[in-house]
Amino acid sequence: MFFQIYGDTSIYQLLGWVMVFAALVLLNEVARRSKAGGIFCFLVVPAVLTVYFIALAIGNAKGADWAVNNQTVVQMGGWFHYAKLYAATIGCIGFMFIKYKWGIGKKDWFKVFPFVIVAINILIAVASDFESAVKGFQAGSIAGGWWYSNEGVWLYGGWWNILNGIAGIINIFCMTSWWGIYSSKDQKDMLWPDMTWCFIIAYDIWNFAYTYNNLPLHTWYCGVALLLAPTFANAFWNKGGWIQNRANTLALWCMFAQVCPTFLNQSIFTVLPTVYGARGEEIRTTIQNGVMDANLALTQADADPKAQGIISVLAIVANVICIMAIIKKSKQKHINPYKQDVFTEQHDFKEAMARAEEVA
């Protein structure tokens, strides 16, 4: 229903998913279990990549062939991917400051940093959703329209983008207890105990809808494997550490995708969503140098946006249910949900608090 997995490449598409999922779970463990791992992943590697990206930008501006035809320049030159990469990386660094109590990480006012950086990350995606909606309306109608992105991908924007953008805004206010941030006793994790399964499910559905609507060549990986990796870790061995898991895996994924986008866009591992309908295989075969053919004559009749609509409706329903539950519990407990813990009776909250270092 959601993805076009078929034919001779289906085994590679499934294998690719398993490889990405396993790599993200393992790399998250490397990054969270030691200072050296975190410093390498989120300070050293990003610094090296920044030099690389600057060199590409200079080379591309001067028309150097090695830069002009580089896969990062051709396939990942849009604003969104760079914004996401650096916002996620800044989040990881800030979380390390908190869990290791470096500098401002010791300050009580800095505990609100996780909320701020997550909200920024969500707003980046919301802006992208609204952008796709506007361009879809301009190209077709509110019922949908094809538009060609500056990264060489045909996107089908429509009312589902507006709906999911609203869901994203609601999701920001589903984050509770903004100052309820702790370092774990073993200093492996930054914990946000009140961020329980209620928020995680609402976030995962919203973010999957975002990737499905706006990153069609990537969503099999960044909309499924990337979302499940931190949720898997949180469910089985890292209670309360979901947001750290999410930031770590997101930053690591963005680094890989920015440097090796051909893995996603034009390889035996490439997976298209069902929005391309019966023309999916044709579109797949036209991809050259990681980009789709800009001259394809796509019409509304070629699109199959049912999955986009269903997922986006689920996203807003899940987030409305979550925010209503927060409002209800807050009234019952006579608390401010953004200053105090809301889900104290949940098992996940209790397990996370048992891991938390006592505040002096």
Across the 360 residues of the chain, what is the mean pLDDT of every consecutive 10-residue run?
Answer: 87 97 98 96 98 97 94 91 95 97 95 97 96 96 93 95 98 98 95 97 98 96 96 95 97 97 94 92 88 91 95 98 98 97 96 87
Dihedral sign, Cα of residue 200, residue 338, residue 81, residue 91: negative
Phi, psi of 247 (to 5 degrees): -65, -45
H-run or E-run covering 171 = helix 159-172
Contact in structure between 249 and 229 (CB atoms under 8 Å):
yes
Indicate the domain borders of the chain. 3-355
Which pTM was predicted?
A: 0.95
HSE-up (13 A, CA, CB side) for residue 101: 10
Q: Could you tell me which of 38, 46, 178 has the C-alpha nearest to residue 117?
A: 178
CA 82 to each of CA 31, 73, 121, 262: distance values in angstroms, whole numbers, following the listed order? 21, 11, 12, 17
SS3 42: helix
Contact by Cβ (8 Å): 34, 99 = no
The burial class, CB within 10 Å (0-12 / 13-18 / 19+), for 38 is buried
Rounded to an integer, what distance in angstroms lies between the CA atom of residue 340 and that of residue 334? 10
Length of the chain equals 360
Q: Say which DSSP state 74 is in.
A: H
Neighbours of 338 (CB within 10 A): 17
pLDDT at 79: 87
DSSP for residue 275: G
DSSP letter (8 states) at residue 107: S
Q: Which of 245, 256, 247, 263 is nearest to 25 (CA)?
A: 245
**Coil, strand or helix at 190:** strand
Q: How much is the pLDDT for 359?
A: 67
Q: pLDDT at position 360, please?
A: 56
Angle between helices 242-259 and 113-139 (to 10 degrees): 50
Distance CA 341, CA 330 (A): 9
HSE of 225, CA atoms in CB hemisphere, 13 A: 23
Question: Which of 220, 296, 311 lies closest to 257 in space, CA to CA?
Answer: 220
Sign of the dihedral through C-alpha 215, 220, 223, 229: negative
The pLDDT, as a whole number, for residue 85 is: 96
Closest CA to 275 of 312, 222, 228: 312
CA distance 58 to 208: 34
**Are 266 and 289 contacting, i.e. CB atoms less than 8 angstroms apart?**
yes
- Measured CA to CA, the distance from residue 14 to residue 324 in angstroms comes to 37
In whole angstroms, what separates CA 138 from the centre of its chain? 27
What whole-number distance in Å separates Cα of residue 274 and Cα of residue 336? 43
**Residue of 343, 347, 346 lying closest to 180 (CA atoms):** 343
How far CA 228 is from CA of 23, 203, 224, 235, 245, in Å, comes to: 12, 11, 6, 10, 10
